[in-house]
Structure formats: structure tokens, C-alpha cells
Amino acid sequence: MTTILTVLTDGFADWETALLNGAARGYYGVSTLYAVPGGTPVTSAGGMMVTPQIALEDADIETIDAIIVCGGTAWQRPGAPDIGPLVKAAREKGKLVGAICDGTVALARTGVLDNVQHTSNGAGYLDGTGYAGAPLYRDVMNAVADDGVVTASATAPVSFMAEVMRALGFADANLDFFLDMHAAQHQPHAKAA
């Protein structure tokens, strides 16, 4: 069974990975796990309390198909959790790695974004991380997938979900329907007479 591990921190942006985990688990039967540094409960930006299944330090890369780093302000603070060892192990094993919004800051610090096309919350957003991937940065509104790495800005949770699901081998008519359903809200509406 395919397993996605989503990394959360206190203050995580609850909307950023909700579509991904909801679609993966609800429509495709993917196992979804949540990990937090230290394994303690965290509260989202929206006030939702989450008790993780595992401590981040106990994650077994052999049993995980994808590591997803959810955004949240914790990644911008001094002393942000170090996800480097887990992410590097995932890349060595050919596992999918993804990050959205401030999660891309954490991913940039690991060096993973140095060699793949990627995006974030805007040009220059990752400059303070010490990464060397600026020439591969794409300033686009949708998620970017390249060589087993998926990144997105805070405003792209739908395309982030789609790119992660595609990378995991779940590109099908159901995924297309789900995307079309969400895209419908961006279509011009006829005004009532």
C-alpha cells in the first residue's frame, strides 16, 4: 500500500495539504501518516489540534513512499526542525519528496532544491536558506514537479495535490475530474439578469 508521510509543526497551514491527504486516503486508499518533531500534538494556524501517529525522528523511510512538508511559520523561525537526514534518506531511496509554502524553506535548507526545478512563494523567497538552486527556480502559480520533487506556493494546494498524486502513479480520470471540479470556481460566471 502506498504511504504518504506529512510533516507538521506547530502553527502548520492546515489547508495546504488537506486536499492531498483527503484525496489520497479517501479516493485512492493511500495510507496517510502524520509526523511531528518530538511526536507531540500540534495546533494548526486555524486552531485544529493534531496528535501525530509518529515522531518525525522515528519515521522509517523503508515504509514510506512520499514525504510531504506542510507549510507553516515554524520553518521561518530560528531553530526550525532539521528534516535534512530524513529527506536525504528519502532521495537516496528514490522516494517522492514534496513541500508547499514555507515547507519549501525547509526543503531548500536540505540542499534538495539545488538540482531540480522548483517553486515557492515568490522569486527570492528561498534566498535566506543558503541553497544554490536559484537558477532552477520557476516563478509560476502552479506546483512544479521535477525528478521526484514536488514544490508549490501557498496558493497552489490543488495543483500540489495533483502533482504528488501523479508522481505516485495515480494519474487517472478520477484525478482529472477532481481537478476540473476545483478549477470550476475560477471560471467566469454569467451574471443573473
Alpha-carbon distance of 48 to 44, in angstroms, equals: 5
Please report, for the chain, the start and end positions of each structural domain, with discontinuous segments joined by +: 3-186
Is the separation of the CB atoms in 113 and 126 below 8 Å? yes
Type of residue found at 56: L
DSSP E strands in 120-182: the ranges are 144-146, 149-152
Q: So what CATH class is 3-186?
A: alpha beta
Residue segments in the chain with a per-residue pLDDT below the cut of 70: 189-193
Measured over the CA atoms of residue 73, residue 74, residue 76 and residue 77, the dihedral's sign is positive
27 contact partners, CB below 8 Å, separation of at least 6: 174, 178
Plot region of 75 (φ>0 → left; ψ -120 to 50 → alpha; else → beta): alpha
Which one-letter DSSP state was computed for residue 25? H
Q: How far apart are the first and last CA of the chain?
A: 52
Cell readout for 35 is 509526523
Alpha-carbon distance of 93 to 183, in angstroms, equals: 34
Alpha-carbon distance of 134 to 155, in angstroms, equals: 20
| Residues β-bridged to residue 67 | 5, 97
User: What pLDDT does 191 receive?
Assistant: 62
**pTM given for the model:** 0.94
12-60: pLDDT as tens digits = 999 999 999 999 999 999 999 999 999 999 999 999 999 999 999 999 9
